[in-house]
Every structure is written in structure tokens, then in C-alpha cells.
A and B are shown apart, each in its own frame.
Chain A
Amino acid sequence: MPEISHYQVKTLTIDGKEVCASEHQTILEVARENNIDIPTLCYFNGLNGVGACRLCLVEVKGNNKLLPACVTQAQEGMEVTAHSPQLHEYRKLIIELLLTERSHVCAVCVSSGHCELQSLAQKLGVNHVTLPYLHEQCKADGSHRHFVADHNRCVLCTRCMRVCDEIEGAHTWDITGRGIRSRMITDMGEPWGDSETCTNCGKCVSVCPVGALVEKGKAVAEMTKPNFLPYLIQMRGKGQ
């Protein structure tokens, strides 16, 4: 008798398009496989999803709550709407809120042109900010030999924290404070250069979507991020 596979394949629709998903695939993964673009910011392929930025929220028929595509598993028969005028409006407003929170001035930023917040704003058509700027005052930490952490540009996506914890295993980065006063910290709040856990691997700099974690000595628009993804996928393939 041939062995019966218990491997489940699910079929669902995203924006009317019929797609199929393998077991444990998220809506976001299936959408990307099928060239359906759902904006994300805190998501990073290879790191645990946290569903924090709320940009990837989608509508699922029969559920009155919006669900984060990055951590919601695809289910048989799901009818997903990833793009609607309402969702577009919410996504624009989320970007606008981020732009008001800290000092995101592209004209003087080393990551300009290579910044996910900037490209999201362009893609979603956020061409002006209607809400007042909050400009939370943060510190910039240049104590590290190779890198700079300018918290004024941080969007609190926690990718640095997750890559440091989940991949490097150092857990140098963490978060302190709450609400609008949340800040990323190294170790127990010591300067990055004094960190006893940091291995100087630079993974956090590689995954930072904006100009918050950058290499030293770069001028405006000079900071490009190395493509970190193949490495992560390779490591995952090795079961690490």
C-alpha cells in the first residue's frame, strides 16, 4: 500500500486570486509567492513574526477583526482581501504616524534611497503629513567601533532585537520604557561600545529598515544594507 501523505495543502483566495498554501504558511508568505504585494515593516523573513507594525493587516471574510498577514496562518477556503481603499487609508495613516513620531528627515539621512520607511511612504502615496510632529527627543549612540545607533530614526520594529536574539544568540538589544517613551537599548542601557554581549557581527545593522543602525563614516544616502536574506535562509536550511 502506498503511504498516504498527511501533508495538507490549502486553497484560498487573496484579492480574488486563487492560491494554494502549504502547511503552516502564513497569508503573507503565500501572497508574496504569488506576487501580491502586502506592505510590511516589522516583518523580516527568517525572524519570528510579531505583528507589531500593523501594515500587513488584511481583511478575512467572516472575521470582523483585521488580521496581521505576517503571523496569520493560511486556512482552507479563506477569502482574504489584502487591498481595499480602507486598508490603504489605514496603511497611509500608520506611515504618517511613524513620520510624526521621531525625526525622519530624509535630506540628511545616510540611508536615504535605501530606506524601507521612505519607500513605503512613496509606494503608499504619503506625500504630506497632516498630523503635528511629535519629534520625540532621543539619543544617538556613536560609542561602537563600527556602528552608530541614532534612535531619532528608530521605528521600534524590533528587528535588531530579534536578529540578535534569535540568530546571533547574543541578545544585546532589548527595549526599555513603554508607549511613546519606548527606546531600544544595548545590554542594560549602557553605551553600545561598552556592551559586553555584542559580538560586533553587524546583523542588527543589516536588518534595520531605516537609518537608525548604520555603519560609521557614511555620508547622506551612502548607507546601503547588505542583502542579509540569503544568509538567513541558508542558516535556516541547515536547521539552525
Chain B
Amino acid sequence: MTLDELQEIAESEREAQKKITHRINVSVAAGCLSLHSDVVFNILHEEVKKRGMEESCKVKAVGCMGLCAAGPLVRSEPQHTYYRGLPPDSPEVLSAIVDSINGRPVPEFALSPEIPFFAAQKRIVLENCGEIDPERIEDYIGVGGYQSLLTCIAKRSREDVVQEIIKSGLRGRGGGGYPTGLKWSMVAKAAGEQKYVICNADEGDPGAFMDRSVLESDPHRVLEGMAIAAYAVAATKGYIYCRAEYPLAVKRLKVAIRQAEKLGLLGKRIGESDFSFEVEVRIGAGAFVCGEETALIASVEGERGVPRPRPPFPAYSGLNHCPTLLNNVETFANIVPIVRNGAEWFASIGTDKSKGTKVFALVGDVVNTGLIEVPMGMKLRDLVYSLGGGIPDNKKFKAVQTGGPSGGCIPEQFLDMGVDYESLMSAGSIMGSGGMIVMDETACMVDVAKFFMDFTRDESCGKCIPCRVGTTQLHGMLERISEGKGRMEDLDTLERLGNMVKRTALCGLGQTAPNPVSSTVRYFRDEYVQHITNKTCAQGKCPCSKAPSTAAGK
């Protein structure tokens, strides 16, 4: 397929869509599906059919619209109205919605797109999510899909594409924040006949679902990003390492790969050039540590998924000892808009050192839980109170946990901090992949630290001693404190052992595992002291509070 042929498909798709005057988009991403949005979709579809309006009104299965708290979500166009929490077992309500497409929206379920949750977002990565049908490549091509790839192949040199990414200032969205362009140029310059591109879709942080939503809602965007990367670094083979817990994402990826191959947009001789790029999906077996790049590569090779020391870095010696470019789902999803709109455009968004937007999974004690994309540097307060709609039941904000088990808890005093890589680091946490867990005043920070320590202890691969035994010891200490059996010396030991694990563990999992503990000891030392000296948990979350009085807490 050439660029002209692609544009023809895009044009005819747009023509076909113009004929449809009304559109009812139903989210069929995993979150809404679990609330039976597929039933909602079927009923709406039947209702439209009954009225003989199929020609002008299309009920469309689309990806994630973001507001998980209000699923199943539906959007009606051109009314430009969201419908929240539609009951799948009430055909009357759904019928009323179809009836109202030309008039005023059904008020009980209507949700204005003007609310800050939608209005304050800047959607770049998620621009097609909730707009296009993830299982129809024509939909993606209709919004300009695969044009960037074919334009690169036809008109731009490999070096030029790498330079564009360097200039954009894009940094790795998987958590580390390593400059993406630098990584690309390392792989591009590395010597080797065979090179690989791998997409890390082994999203494993508790409470994080950014990558899943992108893959379920817009899989072609990620594939196109990977193909552009492959062209830029001269790789011919790609893998998407997706965790087995994401069956829908895997299914849609496989559908997307098949469709793209059929149209000659992936596979051999892409765009009728001599550039070939084949993509395969590899499924993880449930180990968190396989999100670490060297462990991931070992797992793709069929080995036991454990990390190895770096150097050598995968850019020089990765999969099968060949130069390998490894980026996260969200990083690849950023490539197409950068190539399309230019590096200057991208660099104009965000802060000085953190460019572009970031997708966050906003969860926990917040009214509007869901997926949001905002420019880097947005204030934490705006995220929680404006987009998030504040804390339910008028409770007080206590902390926000970012970065998953590698991150930390950020207390109230940092609410006016702009969120970017550096500021989060200086507050003792990390950006991580974008999980953001809001906690209200009823949260017990010892309990939170214990939860994350339990997670890393359980997920440690066991290869290196500091992580294998260190995380177990740290967890044991937190357990004793939560049982009211802690001693004041334990606080020093937590710090001493935590520092040692951070400095000596083999991979990123171990090196960051003590972060949830150290950040809570730093900002909520009082709570630890209270558990140790009073042997009670004021929030009623820990075992020590359960013995005499069990009434308190939720």
C-alpha cells in the first residue's frame, strides 16, 4: 500500500462517516464491559434498528472514555452529551436515549462534557480513545492513521526521525523517564545486522491501567508508533510483551496486527518500500518483575524472567544479544502525534524538563475515578479536586501515592506542586507509569506501606540477596509494628535496611522497593510512633487496633 492508496481509504471512510448524522458511542473497554456495556450496546443497536434509523444513526463500539466511576459510559453525538451509569437491564431508559437523539438529553443520566474531568484534560495519547472502533482499522485510517508511518518511510531519512524524537524532549513513560530520543539514537547507532523493537505492556503496578486502556481502545496507535521506531532504528522484528491478565488487550492487538498486515502496513515491504517490520504478541505469565527490561527480554527469549546486571544495556545487547529498543505502551503512543505535528509542537506542552502530557489512572478515595491525560506540570490539587472531583463524603485529603510499589506517598503540603518527573522525585516519590492512588484521612500509612512491601516481597524474583531477604525483613518489621509489637529502634532499622536495599539490589524492582516505606516514615513518622508507643492504629486499619475496640474505622 502506498501513501496515496492509504489516503484514498481515509477519504472514502470519511465520506461514509459523513452520511451518518447521529452517533451513539458505547465504551467497550474492560472497565465498562465489566458493567455489561456490551448489553447496553446490543439494546441500543436494536432500538435504532426498530426505528429504521440505521442509515443515519450509528451505535458504535469504542474504547475507553475515561470516567470509570460512571460506567457504562455512552456518548451521544451531535448532542455532545455523556450518559453515565446506564442500566443494562432497563430497555426503557435505553429506548428513551435513542428517542431523544434529536431533542434534549435524558436528564437523569446525562453528564455534561463541560465538567472539569473532561474539559481540563489534554488528550494526545488518548485522542482516539472513545472515538474510534478499536477493532476496525478503517476507523483508525479515517482519523489519519498510518499516514505518519508511510510518510516517514517515503519521505524522511531514519536519522531525521530520530532527531525529531530527540528534539521533542519525550521521556520514557514507563516510569524511569529516560529520554526516548537518546535511547532511539543509541539503538540506531549500535552495530548489528538484526535489531529488535519491544513494547513493554506488562503493566503491573497496583491501581494502574493506563496501558491496558490504550491497547484496548487504540491498538493501531501503538503499532504505528512501534513501526516508526523500527524504521528509525532499522529494526525488522517487534514484540509486544503483554501480561496475560489483559486478555481483551491481547485480543484487540492480535486483530489489529492481522488487519495491518493485510493492508501491507505491517509485515514485509511496508508502503511498497524495502522496509519490513513484523510484530508478534508475547504473553507474560504473571510476574511483576518481567516489566523490568532485562527480565522482560529473558522472558521473551523463553528463559526464566529474572533481571541481569546492566551494562550491557539492551540498546547494545538485548534480545538474543542484539540491539533492542524497549519502550512502554504510552511512549509508543506518543510517537505518531510527534511525527505528525512536529517536535516543536510537542515541546511546547508541559514543563521545562518534562514535555508533553501524562496519562494517569486516578483511583482511590476520589469522586471521579478513571483515566485522565493532562499536560505535565499540572498541580496535584487540580488533579485531585478539579478533575477528580474531590474526596467523597467530604473527608479530608491525606496523601496521594504515585509510582506504584516503586513510588511513595505525597502528603498534603505538596498539593500545589506541579506534577512532573523532577518534582515528584524531589518529594520522595516517582512519576512511575502513572498510577495515582488518592487516600483520605481514614487511611493508615503503616498499613499502606505494609501493603506495598507485601507486594514487592511477593514479587521479588529472589535472584539477589538484598531484595529477596531485605524486602521480607522490611515487611516483617512493618507487620510487627502494625500488630503493636514494634519498637522505636525498628524505625532506624527500617531506614538503614531500606537504604541498603535501595543501593545494592540488582534491578529497579529492588532498588525502589523501600520507597513506600521511606516516604511514609519521612512524612508520617507520627503514625509509626503512635503504633509503636500506644500500640493502636488511630484509623482502625491495623491488627493492633482490633483487639479491644473494633468499632472505629470503615
Binding site for B on A (CB under 8 A): 50-54, 57, 66-68, 71-72, 89-90, 93-94, 97-98, 100-101, 130-132, 134, 155-156, 175, 177-182
Contact = CB atoms under 8 A, between A and B. Distances in A.
Given A51-B308, A93-B497, A94-B504, A134 B462 contact: no
B476 to A, nearest CB: 6
A97 B497 CA distance: 10
Interface of B: 287, 289, 304, 308-309, 311, 457-466, 468-473, 476, 493, 496-497, 500, 503-506
Contacts of A100: 469, 473
Nearest to A177: B462
B486 to A, nearest CB: 12
Nearest to B511: A65
A134 B469 CA distance: 9
11 contacts: A51-B464, A52-B463, A98-B469, A101-B472, A134-B472, A155-B465, A179-B458, A179-B461, A179-B468, A179-B471, A180-B457
Contact of B465 (A94, A177, A178): A94
A131 B464 CA distance: 18
Contacts of B473: 97, 100, 131-132, 134
B460 A97 contact: no
Nearest to A180: B472
Nearest to A130: B493
B503 A178 contact: no
Contacts, number: 91
A96 to B, nearest CB: 9
A51 B216 CA distance: 38
Contacts of B462: 156, 175, 177-182
Nearest to A95: B465
Given A51-B464, A52-B465, 15 more contacts: A54-B465, A54-B505, A57-B504, A93-B497, A94-B465, A100-B473, A101-B468, A132-B476, A134-B472, A134-B473, A156-B468, A179-B461, A180-B460, A182-B461, A182-B462
Nearest to B504: A54
B504 A179 contact: no
Nearest to A51: B309
Given A130-B493, A156-B462, A90 B503 contact: yes
A65 to B, nearest CB: 8
A99 to B, nearest CB: 9
Contacts of B468: 101, 156, 179-180, 182
A182 B504 CA distance: 20
